[in-house]
Amino acid sequence: MDLKELYQEIILDHGKNPRNLRKTENFNKDAKGHNPLCGDKVHVYLKLDEDKKVQDISFEGQGCAISMASASIMTDLVKGKEEHEVKEIVQDFLEMIKKKDKLNNKILEENEKTKLMCLSGVKKYPMRVKCATLSWHTLTSAIDNTQEEINSENID
């Protein structure tokens, strides 16, 4: 049954038809991520408004169903959020995918959290966790403007 938990309908849907798979015009922050082990690549573009709210977020890249779905769901959920809120959501997601049973942030609605929890099936596949986290680490890198390409081999 683990396989069904991993490849839930919502994952397959986002994997096949990723939302926000494009390049934001006039983006003001961006970062690249790469998983050399499987060749997954992602480029995250952010447009923050004057109040540091995410006006638009998009991504370009290629990868497995898990990594595409994860990037797609991520971009959907952080749109409209303030920068510090985005960071909190990212932190919460990364902790959940590694060790926690649930999401603790107070920013996302319950139905949004349920959507995000669909990715938790990946926990049982340690080799695949990096597929799910690559875009999230890349988003952090974009926000922090580190100008460093995220290499999934060098992160937890």
- Contact residues toward another protein (CB under 8 A) are 2-3, 6-7, 12, 16, 37-41, 62-66, 125, 128, 131
Q: Name which of 38 and 155 has its Cβ closer to another protein.
A: 38
Question: In terms of CB distance, is 66 or 89 closer to another protein?
Answer: 66
C-alpha–C-alpha distance, residues 31 and 44, integer Å: 6
Alpha-carbon distances of 8 from 70, 111, 131, rounded to whole Å: 12, 16, 16
- Nearest to another protein of 5, 83 (CB atom): 5
In angstroms, rounded to a whole number, what is the distance separating the alpha carbons of residues 1 and 65? Answer: 18
Indicate the residue among 39 and 80 with the shorter CB distance to another protein: 39
CA–CA distance, 36 with 115 (Å, rounded to integer): 28
How near is the Cβ of 110 to another protein at its closest, in Å?
Answer: 28
Backbone angles phi, psi at 53, to 5 degrees: -100, 145
- Distance of closest approach, residue 51 Cβ to another protein, in angstroms: 38
Q: Report, in Å, the least distance between residue 40 CB and another protein.
A: 7
Q: What gap in Å lies between CA 69 and CA 58, rounded to an integer?
A: 13
Measured from the CB atom, the residue of 7 and 27 that comes closer to another protein is 7
Q: How far is CA 91 from the centre of its chain?
A: 11
Distance of closest approach, residue 82 Cβ to another protein, in angstroms: 34
User: To the nearest whole angstrom, how small is the minimum distance from the Cβ of residue 92 to another protein?
Assistant: 25
Residue from 56, 85, 64 nearest 134 by CA: 64
